[in-house]
Each structure stands twice: as structure tokens, then as C-alpha cells.
Amino acid sequence: MRVAILAHEKFPDRAKTAVGILRYADYDVAAVLDRELAGDRVTDHVPDVQDAPIVAGMDDVGPIDALVIGIAPIGGGFEDSWRPDVRTAIERGCDVVSGLHYFLNEDEEFVELAAEHGCELRDVREPHDELTVSGGRAADVDAEVVLTVGTDCSVGKMTTTIELARAARELGHDAAVIPTGQTGIMIEGWGNPVDRVISDFTAGSVEEMILEIGDDHDYLFVEGQGSIVHPAYSAVTCGILHGAMAEKLVLCHEAGREDVHGYESFELPSIPRYVDLYEELAATVHPAEVYAGALNTAHLDEASARRAVDEYAETLGAPATDVVRFGTEELLEALL
Amino acid sequence: MRVAILAHEKFPDRAKTAVGILRYADYDVAAVLDRELAGDRVTDHVPDVQDAPIVAGMDDVGPIDALVIGIAPIGGGFEDSWRPDVRTAIERGCDVVSGLHYFLNEDEEFVELAAEHGCELRDVREPHDELTVSGGRAADVDAEVVLTVGTDCSVGKMTTTIELARAARELGHDAAVIPTGQTGIMIEGWGNPVDRVISDFTAGSVEEMILEIGDDHDYLFVEGQGSIVHPAYSAVTCGILHGAMAEKLVLCHEAGREDVHGYESFELPSIPRYVDLYEELAATVHPAEVYAGALNTAHLDEASARRAVDEYAETLGAPATDVVRFGTEELLEALL
């Protein structure tokens, strides 16, 4: 499938869906739409992903099958400045894939236009109707469950989850990903958007996925969300922690981050404090331990990244690395 | 308003909405529907609330304005055995008030029937459309915020919240309740059903209420939900804890309860462990302390209740009582 990715004014640092898709999805990316970077190429900004031209809008994009909304702003709203591009895409017969809280399928203009042009509007963040409360049974599956947890949003939980599962498979293990967010769902092609379900069903929506495939694999890598200290998103984090009933946690962090992204008056606790918080809270439902750390060092040079990773491992008292930069070997040794 | 309360096969112990309404709501209760207890009276089972006859079904109920669904089963579904009573109520021109996850307004038969007979179907658990993520600002209001937290579901968080707020008002303080669940919303006449909102908006839906009235009162008593160790509901508990940003917590517990209600393979931690868990998790967003304890001793005789309360206070290292049985004086002294 050939796609364009809309990421206006946010590529690459605040367009994590776009970057996730460029890095992992089975799409052929024709272009990234970002009117502020038009004329650049993806690899001018992100070195280690699929390359594509960056353009100002749909008028500069050749034939594609679908337009993917590659931005997920706080609150998950749709910005009206994106409307002309979505409109053009539909008028050209393209499907539109979105992970926003705002559902394209509830937008009158898009629904009408899509019907007229025979296009599909795919809201991957729309939960299915059969979700319910957790039964506290995720630990009953045969697979060993590994969960990525974070010090904050956007520190690399999804990336770490996917890198670990892929590398485990390359080593011959039967490992699968449990996707819990819009980007993970777009990449894996299935999953419950845990941050969009009824709050009472948060843990249940994770448990449902684990029960569905947990007896068919040896390892499940569950994509975590948010952070347990996040003023807005901790509920989702807590629900995933208790719903997944993982034995092993991987603590994800971004080198140098000191306060909550977008909530700068909230300081992040120390790394050992996070370890205690996650382990103690998990243990009330199912005992879990932080077995490894994943550090996002994208903004550091090679030498500083090495130092940061070493320091993180020491603070954590567990193996740690940047899985994109230095691979997953050390972490998998600790986890499998 | 004159109402009947549907509580088939669950009154009184598993009908906490019914009991909450009998105890606190500004309704004149004509009857409680429970086909298993038909012929008894409410006060045969619950001594300290508004009395009413218990009947087998709507056919035995005189003129009323509304039928209230007084049961909230795990998962919040509608049981088809209740359908004849709801149908009869609507056919007699009564409104129907429900706090179920299942919305009466999405039930074709009821919607049609209600239109025909000019009745209103009031789903108090349907969140409004403008909810969003928390901004981490609840602590900015003038009011002091007190939050009830629990060792489990159904241990008395709502009762404690309402008793404390009412008693504080009787002492001349300007105190209000922040209702977060269906029963609290029915009693107070407003509120967000926090366990029914989009999981990402859990903390935000609490913050919204606090910002709305927090500058108009001296004290806000926030109704907690679930428990931070609950395999299914901890997400909601965590969202309320971080969204409310309370300074003072009241730990609610039922005397003798040892494992999670409905999830009996999960043992409850010790009381001091709860204190640590709640305080440590709260502190990552806003510092809070357990100032008092509320013990539900409904199933104990007077002497055992006294002993249980004393023991609870000692374990907690803070004043504790059964607010229904022994009043709120001690707790308010600690809290105000």
C-alpha cells in the first residue's frame, strides 16, 4: 500500500505516529506532508527510517492509496488547517487512516465526500463494542508477558516494544506485540486503542488482547502508554500495568528529560523512584520487576549516548541501551 | 419526586445505588422492586434509611414519577429480566433513570416506547461531549480538596464523602461534593461519570468538576472510585487520585474484608501498605496524606464495631470511625 503521511508543522519531533510508520509499517511512503519543511527529505531529519520527500500538501503528492494522519496532538483533536489535504485525498479516491480521538467517521463533510468517492475512513482509535472489565486473568496465558513502561509520554515505549519483539523473532523465538496505541495498531494491523476505551474497561481491553493470542506465543511484548506519574494519562498507564499482569518490565526514558512533556511544572521523579512505583503498584495485582531499561538518545552524539546509556544502566541496576542506536542484544539477554 | 427503585435479587448488599438513594436522595421512595424479598420492608434489611415496601414488580407499585435502576452489576450491563418492569413503567408514563454502562437511550424498544408515552430516559452515566485531558490544574482552586480512597469497591467511599460534606455544612462550613459515580450523580443532581469517560480523559473529567466549583467553596469532598489495587478498576482510581490533586485522603475500608470483592483470588494488602501506595502515587503529581479512616461496620454488632474502629484507627495512625454508625465528628476535626 502506498501512502502519504500528514504531519504539518510537527515533523519529526512531535509527529510520533509519522515516524513510527516510516520506521516500522509495511507501507510504501510516497511523501510526508509538512508545510514548514517542504523541500526537505525525511532522512534530513530522521536518519534511520524509510526515506521520502517532504511536501507542502496533497497537491504535491503523486498517486497513493491512502492518506495517514501522522500527528496525535494532546487531546487528539482534528485541526481545521488539515482539512483541505484530507478533502483533496478523498476527492482523489484515497482512503484516510486516522488515530485521532476525533473520528473522521463522525465528520459530516468527510463522510459525505468519502461515500461519493468510494473511499474508506479508518478510525483506528475507535474501540470495538464488546470490551468489558478485566477478569484479572492475563497471567493465565502460556506466554511470558513483557511490558514497556515509561518515565513520560513519547520516550520510546512503542519503538522499544516493536524492536524487542522483532529481534526476539530474529533469534528464533515466537514473540508477538500487543499494540495499545494508534501507531502500534496501524503498524501491527490490529489492537485495542487503550487510551480511547471506557475508563472502566482500561485493564480489560489489554487483558482481552493477551487472552486472545497469549497461548499461541512464547513471549508477548505489550506496548505501554503514558507514565504512572503523568497528571493526565496515569489512569491509562495504571490500567495497562494491572491488565497486562506482566512479569517483566522495561523502563523507557529519554536522556536528559527532567519534567513532564507539555506539563513542565511537573518534575520527573528519580529513576529508582520510578522502579519502586511501577514494581510496588504492579505487585498488588501481579508481581513484576524492572528487568531492563531503554534510553532514547536520539538528541545526543554517539559518545554522549554511550555515556548516557551506561549511566542509565548503573542507576537502574539493570542492563540498558538505546534499542534504535545500539540494538537489543543486551536487553533480550536479560528478558528471554 | 416519587420513585420506585429496581433492585431485583440484589437488595440490599449488592444494590448500592438503591441503598445510596434511600439514604441520601431527595426522592420519595414508593417501593423497592426485588422479587426475592417481596413482602418485606426496606428497614427489615437496612435500618437507618428511608423506609418503603419491597415488591415483586411494577404491577405492585402505586403512582410514581420515575423508575430508578438501583443496581450496577460488574460490567454495567442491562439484564433482560428487568425489561418487563421498565416496559411497564414507561407504559404508565414514568421516566426511567439509569446509571448502567448500557444506555437506555440506545435501546430501540425503550426509545420507541418512551417517545410514544412522552417519558424521559435519563442515562446519568453518559458523559458529556466536551471532556478532555487534564491540565494538572485542580490544585489551583481556592477550596481545600479532600478525596475518599478505598481498599476495594463497595466499602463506603460515596457514603463517607456525602456524610462528611453534609456534616461539614451543618458545622457552618461551605462544603460541596464532587460526584464521580452514577449514585453520587443521582443524589447530587450533577457530576461526571468518571468510570464511563474515555480513559485518556479520566483525570480530566475530575479536574473539570473541581475547576468548575472549586473557587466557590471552602472544601470539596471528592467521591473516590474502586481501589488502586483492583485488577479491573485501578485505572479509574489512579485517574481520580491524580486529577483531584487532593491534599487530604480518607481511606475507606470494610471491616473484615480480606480479598477483592468479585475477584477473590486477589488478597488485599495491609492497611499501612495502602497508605504508602496512595500517598506515594499521589505525591508524584501533588502531595497528599491519609488524614483519616472510614470503616464500614454494617455487618458487625455494636461492641465489635467499636473494637474494629479502634483497631483500624491504631493501624492507620489516624482518627477513624464508621461515619454512618458513629458520626463524622472525629474525622472532621482531623480534616477541617
- Distance between CA atoms of B294 and B151, rounded to whole angstroms? 11
* Residues with pLDDT less than 50, chain A: none
Residues B242 and B329 in one domain: yes
Residues B151 and B106 in one domain: no
Q: Which residue out of B125, B133, B199 would a mutagenesis test of the A interface target, given it has the greatest number of A Cβ atoms within 10 Å?
A: B199
Residue type, A45: H
Residues A72 and A151 in one domain: no
Residue type, A134: S
**Greatest CA separation for chain A:** 59
Q: Which helix (H) or strand (E) holds A332?
A: helix A329-335
B101 part of contact set with chain A, CB < 8 Å? yes
Residues A108 and A24 in one domain: yes
- Distance between CA atoms of A42 and A49, rounded to whole angstroms? 8
Tell me whether residues B198 and A200 touch, CB distance under 8 A.
no
* Average pLDDT score over chain A: 97
Q: What are phi and psi of B205, to 5 degrees?
A: -75, -25
SS3 string, chain B, reads CEEEEECCCCCCCCCHHHHHHHHHCCCEEEEEECCCCCCCEHHHHCCCCCCCEEECCHHHCCCCCEEEECCCCCCCCCCHHHHHHHHHHHHCCCEEEECCCCCHHHCHHHHHHHHHHCCCEEECCCCCCCCCCCCCCHHHCCCEEEEEEECCCCCCHHHHHHHHHHHHHHCCCCEEEECCCHHHHHHHCCCCCHHHCEHHHHHHHHHHHHHHHCCCCCEEEECCCCCCCCCCCHHHHHHHHHHHCCCEEEEEEECCCCEECCEEEEECCCHHHHHHHHHHHHHCCCCCEEEEEEEECCCCCHHHHHHHHHHHHHHHCCCEECHHHHCCHHHHHHHC
* Average pLDDT score over chain B: 97
Local structure of A66: helix, strand or coil: strand
Q: How far is CA B39 from CA A46, B7, B21, in A?
A: 74, 14, 20
A221: left (phi over 0), alpha (psi -120 to 50) or beta: beta
Tens digit of pLDDT per residue, chain B (336 long)?
999 999 999 999 999 899 999 999 999 999 999 999 999 999 999 988 999 999 999 999 999 999 999 998 877 889 999 999 999 999 999 999 999 989 999 999 999 999 999 999 999 999 999 999 999 999 999 999 999 999 999 999 999 999 999 999 999 999 999 999 999 999 999 999 999 999 999 999 999 999 999 999 999 999 999 999 999 999 999 999 999 999 999 999 999 999 999 999 999 999 999 999 999 999 999 999 999 999 999 999 999 999 999 999 999 999 999 999 999 999 999 999
Residues B100 and B159 in one domain: no
Q: Are A124 and A98 in contact (CB under 8 A)?
A: yes
Tell me whether residue A210 is in a domain: yes
Tell me whether residue B11 is in a domain: yes
Tell me whether residue A151 is in a domain: yes
- Distance between CA atoms of A212 and A207, rounded to whole angstroms? 8
In angstroms, the first-to-last Cα distance of chain A is 34
- Distance between CA atoms of A300 and A176, rounded to whole angstroms? 31
A334 part of contact set with chain B, CB < 8 Å? no
CA angle A120, A122, A127 (to 5 degrees): 140
Residues A189 and A246 in one domain: yes
B194 part of contact set with chain A, CB < 8 Å? yes
Residues A231 and A83 in one domain: no
Tell me whether residues A200 and B238 touch, CB distance under 8 A.
no
Q: Which residues contact A107 (CB under 8 A, 6 or more apart)?
A: A78
Tell me whether residue B92 is in a domain: yes
pLDDT value for A111: 98
Tell me whether residue B189 is in a domain: yes
Local structure of A31: helix, strand or coil: strand
Q: Which residues contact B115 (CB under 8 A, 6 or more apart)?
A: none
Residues A169 and A276 in one domain: yes
Nearest-CA neighbor of B246 among B144, B134, B133? B144
Q: Which residues contact A106 (CB under 8 A, 6 or more apart)?
A: none
Decide which of B123, B158, B183 is a domain's last residue. B123
pLDDT digits (tens, 9 = 90+) for B232-277: 999 999 999 999 999 999 999 999 999 999 999 999 999 999 999 9
Decide which of B94, B123, B152 is a domain's last residue. B123
Nearest-CA neighbor of B43 among B59, B27, B23, B61? B23
Q: What are phi and psi of B132, to 5 degrees?
A: -155, -170
Grid cell digits, residue A73 = 496532538
- Distance between CA atoms of B242 and B238, rounded to whole angstroms? 6
Nearest-CA neighbor of A310 among A259, A263, A255? A255
Local structure of A281: helix, strand or coil: helix
Grid cell digits, residue A5 = 503521511
**Residue B66: CATH number of its domain:** 3.40.50.720
Give B195's contacts in chain A (Cβ within 8 Å).
198-200
Residues B70 and B152 in one domain: no
Tell me whether residue B130 is in a domain: no
Is A280 buried (19+), middle (13-18) or exposed (0-12) by CB count in 10 A? Answer: middle
Q: What are phi and psi of B86, to 5 degrees?
A: -65, -40
pLDDT digits (tens, 9 = 90+) for B175-215: 999 999 999 999 999 999 999 999 999 999 999 999 999 99
**Start-end of H helices in A57-181:** 83-91, 108-117, 157-170
- Distance between CA atoms of A211 and A140, rounded to whole angstroms? 8
DSSP class of residue A53?
B
Q: Are A252 and A155 in contact (CB under 8 A)?
A: yes
pLDDT digits (tens, 9 = 90+) for A199-244: 999 999 999 999 999 999 999 999 999 999 999 999 999 999 999 9
**Residue A175: CATH number of its domain:** 3.40.50.300
Tell me whether residue A133 is in a domain: no
Helix axis angle for B271-283 and B302-316, nearest 10°, is 50
Domain hosting residue B276, numbered range: 138-335
* Count of structural domains within chain B: 2
CB contacts < 8 A (A, B): 151
Q: What are phi and psi of B321, to 5 degrees?
A: -160, 175
A148 part of contact set with chain B, CB < 8 Å? no
pLDDT value for A186: 95
Residue type, A140: D
Residues A94 and A150 in one domain: no
Give A238's contacts in chain B (Cβ within 8 Å).
228, 234-235, 237-239
Grid cell digits, residue A304 = 554522549
Residues A181 and A238 in one domain: yes
Residue type, B301: D
- Distance between CA atoms of A65 and A232, rounded to whole angstroms? 36
Residues B203 and B281 in one domain: yes
Q: Which residues contact A157 (CB under 8 A, 6 or more apart)?
A: A148, A149, A150, A223, A224, A225, A252
pLDDT value for B74: 76
pLDDT value for B272: 98
Tell me whether residue B36 is in a domain: yes
Decide which of B123, B152, B174 is a domain's last residue. B123
Measure B73 CA to nearest chain A CA, in Å. Answer: 11
Tell me whether residues A280 and B280 touch, CB distance under 8 A.
yes
Q: Which residues contact A32 (CB under 8 A, 6 or more apart)?
A: A4, A5, A7, A11, A18, A22, A42, A52, A53, A54, A55, A70
pLDDT value for B230: 98
Nearest-CA neighbor of A165 among A176, A181, A178? A176
pLDDT digits (tens, 9 = 90+) for A250-284: 999 999 999 999 999 999 999 999 999 999 999 99
DSSP class of residue A311?
H
- Distance between CA atoms of A28 and A328, rounded to whole angstroms? 26
Give A235's contacts in chain B (Cβ within 8 Å).
199-200, 202-203, 235-236, 238-239, 242
- Selecting from A199, A281, A284 the residue whose C-beta is nearest the C-beta of B197 gives A199
